[in-house]
């Protein structure tokens, strides 16, 4: 008797994550909260941060953290979409370019 395939393996659910733009807006707002309260006491700072975070429901906060987690190991070029795709050309992979014989014969 064969084992039935796992349904999760056939149709993996994509995690629901926020867009990078949404994350940047969230972080910008959080930065403003910190800047606006930088001269307050620690307890007041913590309270204002909590108030800001409570503006977002749990699902939204999880989506934002998902985006932050996914982006954590990316380079700035990957985040901006300006990274060059890897090349199959062996000369680009760090091999030294072949010596140009035409320069030797011209001497």
Q: What is the pLDDT of residues 65-103, one digit of tens each?
A: 999 999 888 888 887 777 777 776 555 555 555 555 555
Q: What is the pTM of this model?
A: 0.61
d(CA 46, CA 63): 22
Residue with the two structure tokens 């994550």? 17
- Note the pLDDT of residue 3: 61
């Amino acid at each position: 008797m064969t084992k039935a395939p796992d349904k999760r393996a056939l149709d993996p659910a994509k995690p629901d994550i926020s867009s990078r733009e949404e994350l940047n807006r969230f972080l910008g707002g959080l930065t403003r909260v910190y800047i606006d309260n930088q001269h307050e006491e620690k307890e007041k700072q913590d309270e204002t941060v909590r108030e800001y975070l409570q503006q977002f429901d749990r699902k939204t906060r999880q989506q934002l953290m998902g985006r932050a987690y996914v982006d954590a190991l990316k380079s700035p070029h990957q985040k901006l979409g300006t990274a060059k795709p890897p090349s199959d050309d062996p000369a680009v992979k760090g091999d030294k370019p072949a010596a140009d014989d035409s320069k030797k014969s011209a001497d």
